[in-house]
Amino acid sequence: MSHNTFGHLFRVTTWGESHGPALGCVVDGCPPGIRFSEAGLQHWMDKRKPGQSRFVTQRREEDLVKVLSGVMREDDGTLVTTGTPVSMMIENTDQRSKDYSEIAKRYRPGHADYTYDVKYGVRDYRGGGRSSARETAARVAAGGLARLVLPGVTVRAALVQIGEHKINRDNWDWSEVDNNPFFCPDPETVPVWEEYLDAVRKAGSSVGAVIEVVADNVPAGLGAPIYAKLDQDIASNLMSINAVKGVEIGNGFEAARISGEENADEMRIGDDGKPVFLSNNAGGVLGGISTGQPVVARFAVKPTSSILNERRSIDSDGNEVDVRTKGRHDPCVGIRAVPIGEAMVACTLADHYLRDRGQTGRLD
């Protein structure tokens, strides 16, 4: 929507930098009467938390969520939303004290250093400041609440490609996703990625990835054409994640290649007397409105820009410099984008659920 807020009825505003005292979000418009616990939120936070394998950054953050407002706390610790804004805060605890004088002026290639300086004339250079992926912790907290707004809906994501290595979709098994450090749904691909990423890591290099998000049991009818189409808002919110360079719905770019006959999702009446689609090229969205099929989105994450190998750049004084990133290194930021993608889709669906209920009165 504007600047640091997204959503229309379920509205999330995030704030905070990588090396400030804390970061957080305000979730405004959350329906009253939703029951949850901080431990329940933490489940999602832990999926995104850094330092959980050798394939992600070694920054150590507990990412404990403090709920500061918008809830009543029952005797057993259960929180109940009151319909007022839910403010959640995550303190930064592992901000290494170091000398930032070098990085303060040098524009790291692929990072937002140069553009923030051009735009704002001043920049929090410590750890990427506002453009750091730390900001996404707040999204995951908001996503944890959003899931509870959606009765029966399940939002899951998995990594489907690292570098040139794609999974074998025939092996897809959701239960495998939490059994490996990649959120990989294909157990046969796990060792391939392990070997590959170890090599990337040792070379001080990095590589990109593709994530697929699937939302099941989404009621038909969500989405507000023309300019808040469900797939448009999903694309928008996924593109807002750091380092994302592409988004697809359903068969996505593949749709450009095939014929209308192949692409059409035919319909029949199922045994239960309800409409069934015979395929899901549309990814669960037609004309911007959900069909009742699974909503399927994919997004591409570029390789981590912080690499140990030198790249040519300039500094803010106009000198030509060479830059290489020292310290903690994240060979594939795409891995940790998996729970973030889930969170963004959950928030989008929650928003449209409330909007549709408002405009049409159809939903409970």
Q: Which is nearer to its own copies, 175 or 278 (CB)?
A: 278
Residue 129 annotated in ligand binding: no
Among 254, 253, 282, smallest CA distance to 267 is for: 282
- Alpha-carbon distance of 303 to 9, in angstroms, equals 34
Q: Which is nearer to its own copies, 109 or 181 (CB)?
A: 109
Residue 69 annotated in ligand binding: no
Q: In the complex, what is the shortest distance from the CB of residue 11 to its own copies, in angstroms, rounded to a whole number? A: 6
Q: In the complex, what is the shortest distance from the CB of residue 308 to its own copies, in angstroms, rounded to a whole number? A: 9
Q: Phi/psi at 19 (nearest 5 deg)?
A: -120, 20
Asked if residue 226 has a cis previous peptide bond (ω within 30° of 0), the answer is: yes
Q: In the complex, what is the shortest distance from the CB of residue 84 to its own copies, in angstroms, rounded to a whole number? A: 4
**Exposed/middle/buried for 65, CB within 10 Å: 0-12, 13-18, 19+?**
buried
Q: In the complex, what is the shortest distance from the CB of residue 282 to its own copies, in angstroms, rounded to a whole number? A: 7
Classify each residue of 194-224 as buried b or exposed e, where b means 16 or more C-beta atoms within 10 Å of its C-beta.
bebbeebbeeeebbbbbbbbbbeebbebbbb
Amino acid at residue number 124 = D
Residue 358 annotated in ligand binding: no
Residue 60 annotated in ligand binding: no
Q: Which is nearer to its own copies, 177 or 300 (CB)?
A: 300
Residue 106 annotated in ligand binding: no
Residue 287 annotated in ligand binding: yes
Q: What is the dihedral of CA 97, 102, 106, 111, to 10 degrees?
A: -20
DSSP sequence for 7-18? -SSSEEEEEE-T
Q: In the complex, what is the shortest distance from the CB of residue 321 to its own copies, in angstroms, rounded to a whole number? A: 9
Reduce the DSSP state of residue 184 to 3 states and report it.
coil
Q: Which is nearer to its own copies, 175 or 360 (CB)?
A: 360
Q: Which is nearer to its own copies, 130 or 175 (CB)?
A: 130
Binding-site residues for FMN, in ranges, read 130-132, 242-243, 287, 302-306, 328
Binding-site residues for NADP(+), in ranges, read 48, 54
